[in-house]
Amino acid sequence: MAFPDGFLWGSATAAHQVEGNNIASDFWAMEHSGVPMFAEPSGDACDHYRLYRQDIALLRELGFTSYRFSIEWARVEPEDGVFSRAAIAHYRDVLEACHEHGITPMVTLHHFTSPRWLMRLGGWEYDGTPDRFADYCRTVMAELGPLIPYACTINEANISSLTRRMIEDMTAARSADTPDGGEQAPVGVSAESVESADKARDWRTPGAAALGTTPDNLNLFLFTWTDHGVDVIRRAHVAAREAIKEVSPATKTGITLALQDYQPGPGGEKAADERWAEAFDHFLPAMDGDDFVGVQNYSRVVVGPEHALPHPEGAELTQMGYEFYPQALENVVRRAASAGLPIHVTENGIATDDDTRRVEFVRRALEGVERCLSDGIDVRGYYYWSTFDNFEWMLGYRPTFGMIAVDRATQERTVKESARLLGRIAERNSLDDDIG
């Protein structure tokens, strides 16, 4: 079948992961603070801050119709209340490059990284953060709003709840004895992630020193695990949406959520429902007034009565330790439709060094989207994560999610077959005759 007219076919990036030298951000400081949870610093990343025009042109050449990227708060407001005209001009040119090439931009206004100065105030536990974030969004949209048809306020606003659950599952799995007396494999995380978490137990002290704040104030977005912090994030989304609508009412605005396909194992029905409610339902009140919801999915989690269960025996695992399970996307899209909002798949992808598996993953994921559309679910776009092999936070450059490889010594781009495949699908707006 053909996808609906105007369906957006794109790929996604985040500023800190591809731009390079994001020196005013909290993560840059943390990467250089001596905390061993970071495999390596981000450095020049993919040098996308300099090479964005050639990269956008390449996406258009491949057949893509949209590009999701983030504007970096730390660049736009490097000090509290001080806005960089140069940074705003840069992002104006990025947006204009998209429009010149017939690429519809979808902008994310916060993708995990925050300005250093926010940590001196208390970060994402600080009650004033929603107002400050809204001021930044208002400034950006007042300047650039006419160029931004779609704005995601916060990427994976629920991610702290998911990471907290992941660590709980990991701890339970590692403490449980297997029949041979060893430890069960942690669920849904790579061995490198486990090692990184072990090394990070005292990350606040050196991190706070690097950021010129106290350990109690060092509340990074990714590690804001308290109920109060989650409430601050929800309020920040609402405040940002109101600010955007005030200065750029034509911009369609929403939030993106990280959504695992929680499937019940034996006795796990209640626990699986509780996890979905925590990840999705708890954000529904904050989404009242949104124009769309961004769904981000990579795999499934099978849940027992208390914790996630080990992967099925013989399951194919990705570089991230996730189960290869592309059909998860269809399941979460169907559940997310309960919000009554149009859906954009703002991230879906796989970390692998075997691009044939990426091709298969995309094929099967899109078949699920196609079935959702056939059943009347309002899905309006699909964005593969990620455009490039890029900086994957604490794991550095080892995981390769990208459809385009990057030689970090030369910054040369090499297009993979998965990019050509998705581009062909975009050009035809159909899966027919493209993959089999």
Q: Which pLDDT belongs to residue 310?
A: 94
Angle at 323 between CA 321 and CA 329, to 5 degrees: 125
Low-confidence ranges of the chain (pLDDT < 70): 176-201, 433-436
What lies within 8 Å, CB to CB, of 156 at 6+ separation is 112, 162, 256, 257, 258, 296
Q: Which two tokens stand for residue 171?
A: 């701890």
CATH number of the domain where residue 374 is located: 3.20.20.80
Asked if residue 351 belongs to a domain, the reply is: yes
Q: How many domains does the chain have?
A: 1
Asked if residue 433 belongs to a domain, the reply is: no
- Alpha-carbon span 110 to 115, nearest angstrom: 11
- Alpha-carbon span 404 to 420, nearest angstrom: 10
**Which domain covers residue 81, as residue numbers?**
8-164+201-428
Q: Which pLDDT belongs to residue 163?
A: 85
**Cα 433 to chain center, whole Å?**
31
Q: Which pLDDT belongs to residue 166?
A: 84
Partners of 318 in beta bridges: none
Q: Which pLDDT belongs to residue 259?
A: 98
Q: Which pLDDT belongs to residue 436?
A: 44
- Alpha-carbon span 162 to 166, nearest angstrom: 6
Asked if residue 384 belongs to a domain, the reply is: yes
- Alpha-carbon span 309 to 170, nearest angstrom: 10
Rg (CA), the chain: 20
Asked if residue 3 belongs to a domain, the reply is: no
Nearest in space to 225 (alpha carbons), one of 123, 299, 310: 123
Q: Which phi and psi (to 5°) does residue 221 adopt?
A: -55, -45
Asked if residue 347 belongs to a domain, the reply is: yes
Q: Which pLDDT belongs to residue 192?
A: 54
Asked if residue 63 belongs to a domain, the reply is: yes
Q: Which pLDDT belongs to residue 162?
A: 87
Q: Which pLDDT belongs to residue 181?
A: 38
Q: Which pLDDT belongs to residue 178?
A: 47
Catalytic residue list: 156
Q: Which pLDDT belongs to residue 180?
A: 43
Asked if residue 434 belongs to a domain, the reply is: no
Q: Which pLDDT belongs to residue 2?
A: 87
Amino acid identity, residue 354?
D
Asked if residue 149 belongs to a domain, the reply is: yes
